[in-house]
Each structure stands twice: as structure tokens, then as C-alpha cells.
Amino acid sequence: MFSELSRQLRPALIVFLALTLVTGVVYPLVVTAIAWTLFPTAAGGSLIVQEGVVRGSRLVGQPFDDLRYFWGRPSATGPFAYNASVSSGSNLGPTNPALIDAVQQRAADLRSAHPGRGTIPVDLVTASASGLDPHISPAAAQYQIERVAAARQLPAEQVRRLVEEQTEPETFGLLGEPRVNVLLLNLKLDELSAGTAVGQAAGEPANP
Amino acid sequence: MTAQGVLELTVYVVVLLAAAWPLGRYMARVYSESFVPPGWLALPERGIYRLAGVDPSAEMSWRMYALAMLAFNVLGLAVVYVLQRTQHLLPLNPEGLGPVSPDSSLNTAISFASNTNWQGYGGETTMSYLTQMLGLGVQNFVSAATGMAILVALVRGLKRTESGTIGNFWVDLTRSTLYILLPLSLILAIALVSQGVVQTFSPHAVATLTDPTTDVDGQSIAEQPIALGPAASQVAIKQLGTNGGGFFNVNSAHPLENPTPLSNFLECLAILLIPAALCFAFGHLVGDIWQGIALLAAMLLIFLPCLAFCYWAEAAGNPAVVAAMDSVEAISVAPATGNMEGKEVRFGIASSALWATATTAASNGSVNSMHDSYTPLGGLVPIWLMQLGEVVFGGVGSGLYGLLAFALITVFVAGLMVGRTPEYLGKKIEAFEMKMASLVILIPPALVLVGTAIAVTVPPGRAAISNPGAHGLSEVLYAFSSAGNNNGSAFAGLGANTPFYNLLLGVAMFVARYWLAIPILAIAGSLAAKKCVPTTSGTLPTHTPLFVVLLAGIVVLVGALTFLPALALGPIVEHLQMVSG
């Protein structure tokens, strides 16, 4: 048996090295090269760069708690919400008292910030899987319109139109859920308030 | 549950079957002895054989095949271990990450070599780009190719008569990698980048926050660090190869790993694509496509009800959360009151439940939502699908060879009923095959139940539990169901990155992979040596609805009898607590 094994050692080593070269070096480099040729912005993380400043990634959520902005979902990342270097969910179980307490606290905070609004959309009181969810549901955006409009002294109708513009439907009317990207919506809001359009979002220079 | 959600799941199953059919045909061609790739595409394969001193026409006995497989896997395991321990000395580490601890490195090395891809660590904070690519990425390919090779060897055993050999491991491994996994991964990776999956060697980006925030200590935070990396190339193969090890900590829930509903659909499709296609390939290889369709039908017969049940449970939501929302009026815009804790808005309930079911039916283990926060019954589905032995689709190769072991048990049980020697595809199933098949079926439950029992008995096992009550037991049971069946997903609240869990789960993963692979190869060798017996009126046909129901029934029965007591103490009692308030 040991002589049989020793005869397999050379093939094991060489085949391993060869497949490592193909799948561990050539393959990722080829994917990178094609990605940066065809989709440079996406390959670089879909960064939003305005006037040389990275404002964020259009795919990664940011924390918002100012009354003038739409708020995203609760985030479980540490040590601060939406820390995109340590993605994490809450991992609280469905009967964990800590989950129920957190949901009740969030609901109370939302109610006091939005007096007179009815049912709170469930995505505003539950933590996302990644802690980086860039989206809220259209219901959650509509829930906040009056508060944001009042804080910015804008007509609610104008903010509502912006929310509708920023609402993405299900893909092909079939996949996923309708949603609103909170960071993009808030950047648009700032443009609206400033009254001047800020430079177009652009990708980072191609440099893999 | 919404009509759109149900339609989405239906379209998923239809597209899956439509894509698996031609792929199965192609794979059967790749594994046929006469296959020659066109033109220069054959050069890399021939080059590898020449350098390695492999004669591709030289056949191996089952023992030799198993030795080659083990030597290759242990070597890979060692390399992944060393890469993690020395990554601080190696290039492509822009974040300056230090060496991984010995117990975590060992756990991860076993995990990726055994196609489990259990992750005790957080990707973006632990592994350098080099470790991800050269260690984990390579194992994603070759551990999947190992599973496919073993399956093909078993098929040869069924097909051949009075033969002492079952093929050449090096050829099966190389062809699976070069002609099946590599081209599919390349296509999927580019499609994923088009949707926004990141693929870069740049260090992490830093964004200026629009609305500065504070951390838990009240410190002002004005910048958001954003982890990047060569994710797309790795995500593609981790989905296709039923690996499941995420580039980032939260796996495919991370918006840079799975940014859109379309990327989600493609990644989810990739989970079941090869396992489903292998059923068709099996049919072609044994010369009767209905044999393959029957196995696929048995898988679907278990998969579809589990999918519907999980979707229903998650859409029904958590009554305690709904009460806290003070929800008196129903809202018309989805997501209404479903369980959104640990889920992403772009996926919603339907796509999350579909993924959870697919990733645990297959031994993939990647996640797009946090299973730990599922409702008790919604979380029961993933646990139970793993406990069934990862034979409902299962791992690439390993799922089908596991189900074939169940098929042998099924013909044996049927044979007992009518008092005849059981046969499968013309081969007599005798004592040796039954002993080996029993090992395949009994080892994983033993690992799961004994492992769980040890962990909840000793203090270091209990210390890692993060949720109180029955859910805590579910966390431990999930971990061992995952490791003992090479799945790799987790109730991630369990703080399993400790020496205790790293070692115990490491042992479970190692035994679950190789102590199943070797008996399967032994069956292959034993069957290959046998004569083919002619079909008579007393032969149980194995491509009929009767056989499909019998096979699915045996799988479900073994799973239910073994695990119902443990499940009753975990998710079932938690469900009763939840609904009673």
C-alpha cells in the first residue's frame, strides 16, 4: 500500500500545482482583466465620486439619523452602524427578548419622529442581513416623506415625486422586491435643496 | 406569500431544469472515454499529464483511486493551512492582516478541502487576497472536482462488468476542473461583475459620510471604510461548486457579493445547476436517461414541499415583532409583515426563503439572509434538509453518490419485501455493498447527534451559544448538522471560532467527507467486478414513479426517525413558545 501511495505522490503534487496555477492565478486574473475592460465602475465597487471625493458606494448603505434625510434600516455592524469593513447581521433568534426589545425601541423612536403616521413598515424595525442594506421598501420611504419635507422646508409633493423617481421595481417584474436606494435618494435630496445639480456620479479610474 | 413570490419560485425551478438538461448532456460527453476537446483546448490537459507523469489511459483499482484522492486532498489541506499561517509574510495583503490562529486555520483548511466551507472567521477581516485566491479559491474548484470524480468512478462501477478498475482519478479531476467548472465560473463571474460584484486588488476604499455618525463609545465617525477585493471570481465558483464560503463575512447577503435581484437569481441558480445536471449526466452515462430523471424526481419530491413550507413560515412572520410594530392596519406595499430580521430588502421574503432551501438542499451553505433569525419553522427546513444527508441535490458529485447509496438501500428494502436478491442497474446488491451503503447513511447522523450532545454538555460548547432557550440548542444542532454533512452554513450567532468548536467541527467535516467517499469507492470497485444479471419479471424497475416515491420515502424516513427527537427540543418547541407568546 505504501508503494502504491508513493507512486501517487508526484502526480498529486504536480496536478495540484498545475490546477492551482490555472484556478488560483490565471482564472482570477482573466476575470479581473475582462471585468475592468467591460465594467470598470462595477469592478471597482460602484463608488460614487463627486468632485474628487468618494461619497460612498451606490451598492452599500450608509447611516442616516438627521431629520433632513431618509433613514435606512437598522444595522448590526460594530462599532458603528453601516461599518462596511465588518459586515454582520444581528443573528438574534425569533424569540430572543433582545430582539423584541430592540424592535419595540425602534418602533417607539420612529413613532415619536413621525407623529400621526400609522403602521410602521417592518423593514424599518428589523436589522438587515449584511448590516449594509442600501435599500428600504417603498412603504418605508413613503412613511418618512412628511418628516423629511418639513425638516427641509420643501413641499411634501416634491419629495414624494423624488421618492417615486428613485423607486426601483422588481427586476423583470418578477425577481426580488421593489426598493428605494437610501444613499442615492438622500444625495438627490441635497441636490434639490441646494438648487444646483452636483456633478454626475462617476467611477474610479480603471486601475485593478 | 404573494403571487409574484410563488411565480418567482416557479420560474426558478423551470429555468433550473431547462439549463441542467443541456449541461448534463455536455458533462456526460466530457466523462466519456472518447472525449477529446477541440484544437488547442486540449493542450493544457495534455501538458499537466506529461509534467505529472500520468498516463491518462492507465486505469486504477478502487483502492488506488481512493489513495490518489486522499493524497491530493491532504496536500491541498496542508497548503491552505500554511497559507493562512504565513499570510502576513506573503504578498497581496493590502490590509496587513496577521496570521490566522492555528485552530481556526486547521478548521478552515479541512472545511475548504472537504467542500464544506464552514466559516468560523469573517472574510474581510481575516483572510488576505492571496489566501482567498490561492488557498480558498483553488479548493473551491478542486474539492468540487473531487466530488464529481468520485461520482464518475461509481457510475463506471455500475456500468462495467468483471472489471478490476474504475478509471483514473487524475483524469477525472482535471477534466471536471478544466472543462466543466472553469468555463461555467468564467461566464458567471463576468455576469456577476456586470451586476456590481466587486473584482479588484485595490485596498479597501474610504468614503466620506453624507451624515456623520457616532460609534458605541460616542466617538464621531465621519468616514466609512468599504471592504473590497477580488470577490466575483470567487463567488462564481463558490456557488457552482456547492462550496459556499463567502468572500465577505455575511456571504451573499453582502451588497458587493450579491448586489441585485438578478445577481441573486443567477447565484441561486448556480447552487443547484451542477447537482441537477449531474442527474441527467448520470442517465446518459448509464445508457438510460430515465434512471437519471427518476433520481432528480425523487430530489424534487422532497425539495419542493420544503421550499413551500419555508416560504410560508417566513412570510407569516414573527408575531412578537408584528405586535411591537403596533400593526393594526395591513399595508399594501410589500414587504408587509413577513420576517425581515436578517434579510435584505432587495431580496425580500421569497428570494431569501428560496436561497435558504436551495443552499441546504445542496451542500452549498452560502447564505443571502441570516438563518439564525429565521422563524423557528422557517429555520427548521434548512436544518432538516442538511440532516437528510445532503442527498436532495447535495454537493456536486457527493449529493448524487449519497443518493445512490440510498437507492441501494431502497432496492434492498424492496428486495426484502418480496424475498429476492436486490439489483440496481443489473448489478446484484449483496452484503458488502449494503455494509458500505450503511456506513454512508449512518456516519453523518452519528456525527451530528454525538457532536451536538458533547457540545451542549461541556462548558466551552455552551459558552458559544448566543441566543437563550430552545434557540440555543438549535444553534448547536445547526452547526453539527452543517459540519457533519459538509454543508457549511450556520446559525451564525454561535460564536464558533474557538479552539473547542474549530477542532470538533473540523473532525466532523473531515470524517463526513472522506469516510463517506471511501465506502462509495469501495462500492464502485465491488460493482465493477460483478457480472450483469439479466432483467426478469421479478426485477424492481428503478425508473418508475413507484421507485421514485419509495426512494424519497426512505430518505425522509431515515431523516425523520433519526432527528425528530432533537428537532422537537429545538425549533419545534421554540415555535410553540413563539405562537403562545
Predicted confidence (pLDDT) per residue in B495-512, tens digit? 999 999 999 999 999 999
Residue closest to B380 by CA, chosen among B253, B464, B304, B474: B474
- Nearest Cα neighbor of A76 from A97, A56, A102, A96 is A102
Beta carbons of B54 and A4 less than 8 Å apart: no
Domain boundaries, chain B: 396-579
ipTM of the complex, rounded to two decimals: 0.94
Cell numbers found for residue B576: 410553540
The mean predicted confidence, pLDDT, of chain B is: 94
> What is the end-to-end Cα distance of chain B in Å, rounded?
23
Please tell me the distance from the alpha carbon of residue B218 to that of residue B207, in angstroms, as a whole number. Answer: 20
Mutate to test the interface with A, among B69, B176, B217, B345 (most CBs of A within 10 A): B345
A105 neighbors A88 (Cβ within 8 angstroms): no
Whether A87 is covered by a domain: the verdict is yes
Q: Which three cell numbers stand for residue B523?
A: 462500492
Grade residue B332 by pLDDT with cuts at 50, 70 and 90: very low
C-alpha angle B89/B94/B96, rounded to 5°? 50
DSSP string, B62-74: HHHHHHHHHHHHH
Q: Which residues contact B274 (CB under 8 A, 6 or more apart)?
A: B23, B144, B148, B180, B184, B240, B241, B242, B396
Interface with chain A: mutation pick from B50, B250, B341, B474, highest number of A CBs within 10 Å: B341
Q: Based on the fold, state whether residues A105 and A186 are members of the same structural domain.
A: yes
- Domain hosting A21: range is 1-38
Closest CA to B4 of B256, B330, B336: B336
Give residue A198's pLDDT band: very low, low, confident or very high (50, 70, 90).
very low
Contact A105/B at CB under 8 A: no
Shortest alpha-carbon distance between residue A64 and chain B (Å): 6
Query: In this complex, which of A88, A93, A119 lies closest to B325 when CB atoms are compared?
Result: A119
Give chain A positions within 8 Å (CB) of B335. Answer: 121-123, 137, 139, 177
Q: Which amino acid is at B30?
A: V
In terms of domains, do A98 and A30 share one? no
B211 in Cβ contact with B86 (< 8 Å):
no
Chain A positions touching B53 (Cβ under 8 A) are 10-11, 14
The reply to whether A62 and A142 lie within a common domain is yes
The partner residue sitting opposite B134, judged by closest CB among A24, A54, A183, is A24
Instruction: Give the mutation candidate from A87, A90, A174, A185 for the B interface (greatest B CB count, under 10 A).
Output: A87
Query: How many alpha carbons lie under 13 Å from residue A128 in its C-beta half-sphere?
Result: 33
Comparing A44-53, A147-156, B418-427, B570-579, which segment has the lowest mean pLDDT? B418-427
pLDDT score at A1:
65
Q: Can you tell me the mean pLDDT for A57-70?
A: 97
| One domain for residues A110 and A171 | yes
Query: Same structural domain for residues A56 and A19?
Result: no
3 state SS of B209 = strand
Give the total residue count for chain A: 208
pLDDT by residue (tens digit) across B36-59?
A: 888 888 999 999 999 999 999 999
Task: State chain A's maximal CA–CA distance in angstroms.
Answer: 84
Measured between alpha carbons, how far is B243 from B138 in angstroms, rounded to an integer? 11
A7 and A78 together in one domain: no
Provide CB contacts within 8 A for A164, sequence distance 6+. none
What residues are paired with B423 via a beta bridge?
B428
Q: Verify whether the Cβ–Cβ distance A174 to B189 is below 8 Å.
A: no
User: pLDDT grade, residue B314 (50/70/90)?
Assistant: very high
B368 to chain A: nearest residue by CA? A129
Name the amino acid, one letter, at A131. Answer: G
Interface check for A118 against chain B (CB to CB < 8 A): the answer is yes
| A122:B213 CB<8 A | no
Q: Which of B64, B202, B344 to mutate to probe the A interface, most A CBs <10 Å? A: B344
* A205 has pLDDT over 60: no
Q: How far apart are CA A73 and CA B258, in angstroms?
A: 18
Q: Are B489 and B510 spatial neighbours (Cβ–Cβ below 8 Å)?
A: no
Residue B236 three-state SS: helix
Does residue A8 sit within a domain?
Answer: yes
Distance from C-alpha of A23 to C-alpha of B138, rounded to nearest angstrom: 6
Indicate yes or no: CB of A86 within 8 angstroms of CB of B370.
Answer: no
Test B52 with A18 for CB contact under 8 angstroms: yes
**CB of A83 within 8 Å of any CB in chain B?**
yes
Q: What is the radius of gyration, based on Cα positions, of chain A? A: 23
How many Cβ atoms from other residues are within 10 Å of residue B89's Cβ?
8
User: A48 by DSSP, 3-state: which?
Assistant: strand
The grid cell for B51 is 509534467
In sequence order, what are the residues at sequence separation of 6 or more whose Cβ sits closer than 8 angstroms to the Cβ of residue A205? none
Mean pLDDT confidence for B409-426: 92
CB atoms B324 and A100 under 8 Å: yes
CB contact (8 A) between residue B182 and residue A23: yes
Asked if B255 lies within 8 A of A59 by C-beta distance, the reply is yes
Dump pLDDT digits (tens) for A112-149. 999 888 788 999 999 999 999 999 999 999 999 999 99
Contact by Cβ (8 Å): A203, A41: yes
DSSP classification of residue B364: -
* Band (B336; pLDDT cuts 50, 70, 90): low
**Across-strand partners of A180?**
A136, A167
Distance CA B248, CA B238 (A): 12
Q: Are residues A125 and A153 in the same domain?
A: yes
Query: Which residue of chain A comes nearest to B234, CA vs CA?
Result: A28
- Residue A149, domain member (yes or no): yes
Residues 6 or more apart whose CB falls under 8 angstroms from that of B154 comprise B166, B401, B404, B520, B521, B523, B524, B527
> In chain B, whose CA is at the least distance from the CA of A111?
B325
Task: Dig out the grid coordinates for B345 from the structure.
Answer: 430588502
Question: For residue B413, what pLDDT band results from cuts at 50, 70 and 90?
Answer: very high
Q: Are the C-beta atoms of B134 and A25 separated by less than 8 Å?
A: yes
Chain B CB within 8 Å of residue A169 CB = no
Residues A132 and A33 occupy one common structural domain:
no
Question: Apex CA B385: angle with CA B380 and CA B386, to 5°?
Answer: 105
How many angstroms separate the CA of residue A208 from the nearest CA in chain B?
A: 5
User: Which residues does chain A have within 8 Å of residue B262's beta carbon, measured at their own beta carbons?
Assistant: 171, 175
Give yes or no for A184 touching B (CB within 8 A).
no
| Res B161: pLDDT | 95
Mark whether A86 and A189 lie in a shared domain. yes
Residues composing chain B: 581
DSSP string, B90-125: SSS-TT---PPPHHHHHHHHHHHHTT----SS-HHH
The amino acid sitting at B313 is A
- 3-class SS string, B435-457: HHHHHHHHHHHHHHHHHHHHHHH
- Sheet-wide strand order for A179-181: A135-136, A179-181, A167-168
Count of domains forming chain A: 2
Is the predicted pLDDT of residue A193 greater than 90, yes or no?
A: no
| pLDDT digits 0-9 by tens, B5-44 | 999 999 999 999 999 999 999 999 999 988 988 888 899 9
Among B51, B137, B205, whose Cβ lies nearest the Cβ of A28? B137
Peptide bond into B519 cis (omega under 30): no
List, in order, residues 6 or more apart from B18 with CB less than 8 Å away. none
Note whether A7 and A102 are same-domain residues.
no
Cβ within 8 Å of residue B293, ≥6 positions away: B279, B280, B283, B543
Q: Is A164 on the interface with B (CB under 8 A)?
A: no
Residues A106 and A139 in one domain: yes
Q: Is residue A179 part of a domain?
A: yes
- The DSSP element (H or E) to which B418 belongs, if any, is helix B398-418
Are A135 and A179 contained in the same domain? yes
